[in-house]
Amino acid sequence: MAASAAAIAAMSDDRFAALPAPPYYAVIFSSQRSEQDQAGYETTAARMVELVRAQPGFLGFESTRDGSGFGITAAYFDSEASIAAWRAQAEHAAARDLGHRLWYRRFELRVARVERAYGGPHKPSTHSASSA
């Protein structure tokens, strides 16, 4: 489930997950929200953030949702066993059921092993645009 605006605001200003060196696993959840039960969704999303942070093997997450309700959450875990344990967690299972029935018009879930990861700050171009 994509994190709610309140759950994201509770994160630090840096919305990038601090992750170890690969390999690790990414669970990528893309969804289109429905108009149903916004308050229930927000409350449950905040609870899922609280629960997953306590889940053994959880490494971090990154989440965003646009104004049309399309969102992507990438949750990172140390192993497939940790992902399976999170999937089996009772409150998470109940939240998934509600999501399927009420909160999402469509969703896709993908699991991938991260073999390489890199990034860094935006560096301004040293080349200036000139008009000829």
Residue 92 near residue 58, CB atoms below 8 Å: no
Adjacent-strand bridge partners of 43:
none
- Say what the pLDDT of residue 125 is: 67
Give the separation between CA 62 and CA 42, rounded to whole angstroms: 17
Residue 92 near residue 51, CB atoms below 8 Å: yes
- The string of pLDDT tens digits covering residues 35-77 is 999 999 999 999 999 999 999 999 999 999 999 999 999 999 9
Q: What band does 11 get if pLDDT is binned at 50, 70 and 90?
A: very low
pTM to 2 decimals?
0.81
Q: Give the number of C-alpha atoms closer than 13 A to the C-alpha of residue 36, restricted to the C-beta side.
A: 10
Higher pLDDT pick, 128 / 13: 128
